[in-house]
Amino acid sequence: MTNSCNIIDGKKIAQDVLSSLKRQISDMAAKPVLAVMSVGDDEASRIYVRNKEKAAADIGMECRLLHFGNTVTEKELLEVIGALNEDENVNGIIIQQPLPCHLNTACLVEAVRACKDVDGFGPVNLGLLQVNSPEAVIAATPKGVLRLIKSTQVKLAGKHAVIIGRSNIVGKPLASLLLNQDCTITVAHSKTVGLPALVRQADIIVAACGCAKLVKSDWVKDGAVLVDVGINRGSDGRLCGDIDFEALAGRNVRITPVPGGVGPMTVAMLLENTWQAYKKQKNIL
Ligand code: NAD
């Protein structure tokens, strides 16, 4: 088993964030409100929404669930988003993905007002991130990944980070985020040639490709920091990440586990974004 002092404990770091949010929210007369829109009956989405709802309740935040059947139209959803944008009691709005394919996800995400886009998926916030604006709402998973890397006290400037995965919600925003920290970035994807050799150069490795145990121990140099975003079922049926965690046992690396790494941080960062949106909307410094 990996030496426990080398494990980056996402569960503990997330819990610290949530405890701090709970303390700050308890001083407020009105609770922050997060609206969560979901469509259809995707089982994984149901679990994610339940986790967000529970974490919000634990810290005294209201989570308003708006669930729609599979036949809901884009027009109907746009009307709901419009009303939530105007509702001054709603501080954050998220649209749980994936959406059924008759709905245009980009169009719906774009309709969420930027200051309430606590997922940070809209074009305004992605653009603000690109230009390193402090006004950007940073997507929860990349924000959590950066927080986990920083928890190791590694000096980021000049480090080579290899990110495996280029999705709009993880890989791409994370590349901007780490670039803004003066890292040198390589973004790898399914068409990348010679991935092991690229990863071997990395000081920081973030795996976000959804391929069980893709990153092998002999791809990783000593002293590397590894963050595993992936959530997969291994061939043994157990939950595992994109990195071969067990194979890195005893190695001189720091690594997040799955579960207990990025997952809890994603929820904590979403609620932190909602709290920050609430403060901005109420002019609380
Ligand atoms: P995605 O399917 O949108 O993107 C996957 C990316 O990985 C693509 O860019 C693809 O080109 C790349 N890829 C696929 N196979 C590859 C390979 N063999 N080599 C190199 N690159 C490869 O996925 P996503 O939404 O970014 O999610 C990635 C993983 O992270 C999934 O397992 C997902 O469940 C997980 N995830 C976890 C959290 C969390 O909170 N823990 C949040 C978001 C996503």
Taking only the tens place, the pLDDT of each residue in 146-171 is 999 999 999 999 999 999 999 999 99
Let me know: does 46 contact 86? Beta carbons within 8 Å: no
Q: Is the CB of 257 under 6 A from ligand 1?
A: no
Report, as an integer, the average pLDDT of 135-156: 98
Q: Is 230 in the pocket of ligand 1 (CB under 6 A)?
A: yes
**Residue 163 β-bridge partners:** 187, 206
169 lines ligand 1 (CB under 6 A): yes
* Single pTM value for the model: 0.97
Q: Cβ neighbours of residue 279 under 8 Å, at least 6 residues apart?
A: 285
Quick one: fold of 139-262? Rossmann fold (3.40.50)
Q: Which fold has domain 30-114?
A: Rossmann fold (3.40.50)
Residue range 46-76, pLDDT digits in tens: 999 999 999 999 999 999 999 999 999 999 9
Q: How far apart are CA 33 and CA 270, in angstroms?
A: 12
CA 237 to ligand 1 center in whole angstroms: 19
Mean pLDDT of the chain: 96
The residue whose CA is least distant from atom 22 of ligand 1 is 190
Amino acid 4: pLDDT: 64
- Mutation probe of ligand 1 site: the residue of 121, 172, 209 with most atoms within 8 A of C-beta: 209
Q: Give me the torsion for CA of 20, 26, 28, 32, rounded to 10°.
A: 70
**What per-residue confidence (pLDDT) applies to 250?**
82
Single out the residue of 166, 80, 180 nearest to residue 136, CA to CA.
180
* pLDDT recorded at residue 5: 59
Percent of the chain with pLDDT over 70: 98
For residues 29 and 48, give the distance between their C-alpha atoms in angstroms, rounded to a whole number: 28
Dist. CA 249 → ligand 1 center (Å): 24
> Is the C-beta atom of 267 inside 6 A of ligand 1?
no
Q: Beta partners for 154?
A: none
Every domain range in the chain assigned CATH 3.40.50.10860: 30-114
> Where are the CATH 3.40.50.720 domain residues in the chain?
139-262
- 142 CA → ligand 1 middle, Å: 12
Residues in the chain: 285
- What is residue 3's predicted lDDT score, i.e. its pLDDT? 66
Answer yes or no: is the C-beta of 209 below 6 A from any ligand 1 atom.
yes
> Mean of the pLDDT values across residues 83-93?
98
**pLDDT at res. 2:** 54
pLDDT over threshold 90, residue 139:
yes
Task: State whether the beta carbon of 208 lies less than 6 angstroms from ligand 1.
Answer: yes
User: For 2-6, 167-171, 210-214, which range has the lowest pLDDT when averaged over its residues?
Assistant: 2-6
Identify the pLDDT of residue 285. 81
Nearest atom within ligand 1 for CA of residue 192:
20
- CA nearest ligand 1 atom 17, residue: 190
Residues 281 and 153 sit within 8 Å (Cβ to Cβ): no
Please tell me the predicted confidence (pLDDT) of residue 6. Answer: 94
Helical packing angle, 171-179 and 140-150, nearest 10°: 40
Q: Which of 96, 229, 244, 265 to mutate to test the pocket of ligand 1 (most atoms within 8 A of CB)?
A: 229
